[in-house]
Each structure stands twice: as C-alpha cells, then as structure tokens.
Amino acid sequence: MTNRKIVVALGGNAILSKDASASAQQQALRSTARYLVEFIKQGDQLIIAHGNGPQVGNLLLQQAAGSTESNPAMPIDTAVAMTQGSIGYWMQNALREVMAEEGLQQDVATVVTQVEVSADDPAFSDPSKPIGPFYTKDEVKPIAAAHPEQTFVEDASRGYRRVVPSPKPTGVVEAGVVNKLVDAHVIPIAVGGGGVPVVRENNQLVGREAVIDKDFASEKLAELVDADLLIILTAVDNIYVNFNQPDQKQLTNVTVPELKQFIKEGQFAKGSMLPKVEAAIAFVEHRPDAKAVVTSLENVGEFLSNGTGTIISKAAVASN
C-alpha cells in the first residue's frame, strides 16, 4: 500500500549517542535519513516527530552556566522551541541530501509546534520527568537553594536530578498546518521534543515549565491528522514481555486488550517502553482502522519488506 500518511516518532538514539557536538548529531541524522527515505521511495506521505531529551538538557545546562541578570537563561518551553529549530534544521538538510542521492525531490519543513495541555493536569502538582545531569547530595544543595522554584529528587540511587511536570497533550495547535504541508507534498517535521507545552488562557497560548512525552505528542498529532499509521521507533525491533528474562517473548501482532493485560501485569518499564505502548493503544483506539508499530530504526527496511516489528491493532489478530 502506497500513499499512506505515516507519523514516524524518532527516539533520541536517532540523533545523539555520546558525542553532543553539532557535527556528530548532523552525521547521526544523515544515517537516520537513509532509513526514513525508504518510506518516501515507496510513495508514503511522511510526518516526522522526534525527541530532544539530551539536547534540551544540554541547552539548559549551557544557559545556566552563562546566565546573568542582564542575559538570563530562557525557560523550558522556550528551550524546547530552540531545540525544535536546531534539530529540524539538521534533519531538513540530512533528508534533502539523502533524497538528492536517491534521485528524489521533495520539500521538507520544520514546524515549531505548540502542544496544548490542561492547566489542571495533575502532573503540574507532581513533577516527575527527570531532566539534566545527576548531582551528588552535596552538589544539589546549593543549586536547590539558589532555585527554590525547581524540584530535585533522588533518581534510581544514581544521584539527584531536577524533575519537571510531564502533562498529557490535549491538542496540537499546528496540526492543521501539518496537514496542509502534507497536502502540498511537503514533509513536515513536527512536535519535536513533545512540542512546546502551552495552556490556553482566553485568546493567548501561554508556555509552561514542563516536558511533554514525545510518544504521546506524536500520537496526538497522528490522531489529529488522520494518519494511517503511527510508527514509534526505539532501540529494539519488537516489544517483549518478560524482557531480559529466560522466558522473554517477542510480540509481533498484538491487540489492544492483550497489551492492556500486559500493562496490568507490569510488563513494561515506566520510563521507557510503557509510554510507547500507551501511545500505540491510544492511537488505534481513536483510529480503529489504523495500526501502530513499535520497532527500531534499523528494522525499517524489514518492516517495509516483510512487516516485521510489533504491529498493534484494535481488531483480533494472531498473536505470537
């Protein structure tokens, strides 16, 4: 099937590994673009979403180190917008270069995307999303004293980290713009880093100090643009149950009720696979005729050729 409208959500490993330099991230995105171009070659209409966890964390550190009264650091919502621009700039050029090598010609545009959240979301009173580096107990004390508005917690016995709210998306302000770009045969790069978190106050969109989960934002965008497929790319080719155990089991075709049962069993790690599974469930529940896929970037070719990966559907299918 060609001419499908597909939202592809890239994990952070598609952009940044260990080297945080601009040149290294640009090179990583050239490699990523080679996989994504396979969708374009077969006639799919691509919408690209991406994470920005390492990049926004690094940017906040750089700003904090150079912040002065006359040149203060920017808030998180603005930092998210800044990384949407920088990563989009690199990704646009990477895609154009690879498409030119393949004899393809298609415009690419980055959309600085605002994602609406509810001001009443309970996440605002319970910050939980870790950002930035680890600190020792002695290191964090003066930082916390200097920034009483910030929350620091001990994270997995590895030290203390700042945590911020992670509200659920309720809308994507620029979803209509994304659809218009697709209709004009332009590849949009949107909801980078989960989007800039905003709340609606009368006629204003007001940024909030928060980080939206990239997978939930990608799902909301896929839902609003009536995508045929949501593909969440991560570090593994498939979702597993009993992961890393002797009896681990690979999931290939799986239904929403089956995944919900696995969630009840605590099969998926809260900070890694669980949001991907929950986002996939939300998408197929809103778009019953559509499907969601969780697989790795490196498995894109096999998915396109043989349908390998974890395919999530609402209707009953064979489960492995």
The Cβ of residue 118 has, within 10 Å, a number of other Cβ atoms equal to 15
260 assigned to active site: no
Catalytic residue among 52, 53, 57, 129: 129
DSSP class per residue in the chain:
--S-EEEEEE-GGGT-SS--SHHHHHHHHHHHHHHHHHHHHTT-EEEEEE--HHHHHHHHHHHHHH--SSSPPPPHHHHHHHHHHHHHHHHHHHHHHHHHHTT---EEEE---EEEE-TT-GGGGS--EEEEEEE-HHHHHHHHHH-TTSEEEE-TTS-EEEEE--PPEEEETTHHHHHHHHHTTEEEE-SGGG-EEEEEETTEEEE-S----HHHHHHHHHHHTT-SEEEEEESSSSEEESTTSTT-EEESEEEHHHHHHHHHTT-S-TTTHHHHHHHHHHHHHHSTT-EEEEEEGGGHHHHHHH--SEEEESS-----
Catalytic residue among 51, 192, 214, 314: 214
314 assigned to active site: no
214 assigned to active site: yes
Separation CA 213–CA 201 (nearest Å): 22
- R_g over Cα of the chain: 20
Separation CA 15–CA 19 (nearest Å): 10
Furthest C-alpha separation in the chain: 62
The Cβ of residue 102 has, within 10 Å, a number of other Cβ atoms equal to 13
Catalytic residue among 220, 276, 291, 314: 276
Active site residues: 12-13, 129, 214, 276
